[in-house]
Amino acid sequence: MPSAPKWLFDVVERLLLPKIPLMEVSIVEQLSPSVKRIQFKGAFETLQFQVGSYLDFRVSGTEARRYTISYIDPQKEILEFIVHLHGEGPGRWFMDRLKIGNKTVVSAPRAHKCYEKSFKKYLVFGDETSLALACSLLPALVSNNHEFSFYFELAQANQDVPELLGIPNCTVFAKNGSFHNEKWISNLPFMESSASNDTAFVLTGNAKSVQVFKKVIKANTKAKIFSQGYWLEGKKGL
C-alpha cells in the first residue's frame, strides 16, 4: 500500500502502536553522497525477523515505502537499514531528514523468501536498494558454507560502498542499462557455471533488470530464482 488516505494510515498507526516498538534513530552514517546507513534503537525482541525481512515506513501523511532490514541485534536493541537517496520522492526525503533522536513507528516486519540452506551456490544481484538485503544474507551464506558471489549495478559514486560494508566476493558493474540486455547477460561468465540445480539466484533492485536477468537465467539454467523488483522506473513505491 504505497499510497492511501491520511485517515487510513492514522487508523493503522493507532492499531499498530501498542504492538510495534517505537524506533529511535541512534546512528546515521553517510556511506556515499546518496547511500546512508541508519541505525535505530528499540525493544525489538518480540518481533519476528528472517533474512531479507522488510518494513513499511510511513514517509508522509499519505505514503508508505518499503526498506529492508540490513542488520538486527535484538539483545542490543539495534536495527539497521541501508537506504538509497534518489530523486524527489517522499521516501527519499523522509530518510534524508532522519536525525539522531528522531522517533518513528513502522509496520510489522514482513518476510521476503530469498534463502534456502539446501542450495550450494548463491549469486546475489541488485543495485543500491539491494545493499541491505546483501548485508542481511551475508551471515547465513558465510556460516552455512555456501559458495557465493555478489553482483551489483551501481552508480559511479557508489561503487566503493559494498567494500565499506564488508561485502566480499563482489563484482561491481556500471549502471548503464547492461542488465536490460538479454544477450549481454547471457554472455556473463557465471551463466555457464550456474547451469546446475544446486545454484540459487537472488535478484532484487531495478524491476526491469530483475525481469530481464530472470528471463535469461530461466532460458539457460536450472537454477532456483528468488526475485523481487524493489523499484520500477516511473512508478511510485512498489
Ligand X SMILES: Cc1cc2nc3c(=O)[nH]c(=O)nc-3n(C[C@H](O)[C@H](O)[C@H](O)COP(=O)(O)OP(=O)(O)OC[C@H]3O[C@@H](n4cnc5c(N)ncnc54)[C@H](O)[C@@H]3O)c2cc1C
Which residues lie near ligand X (CB under 6 A)?
A: 54, 65-68, 81-84, 86-87, 89-92, 112, 128-129, 132, 228, 230-238
Enumerate the H helices of 3-115 as residue ranges.
Answer: 6-16, 90-97
Closer Cβ to ligand X, 21 or 91, answer by number: 91
Of all residues in this chain, which one has the CB nearest to ligand X in the complex? 89
CB of 120 to ligand X, least distance (A): 26
The C-alpha cell at 46 is 518480540
* Three-state secondary structure call for residue 127: coil
Burial class (CB in 10 A: 0-12, 13-18, 19+), 13: middle
Closer Cβ to ligand X, 20 or 221, answer by number: 20
Enumerate the H helices of the chain as residue ranges.
Answer: 6-16, 90-97, 131-143, 161-164, 182-186, 190-193, 207-220
Closer Cβ to ligand X, 31 or 194, answer by number: 31
Closer Cβ to ligand X, 121 or 175, answer by number: 175
The C-alpha cell at 73 is 541485534
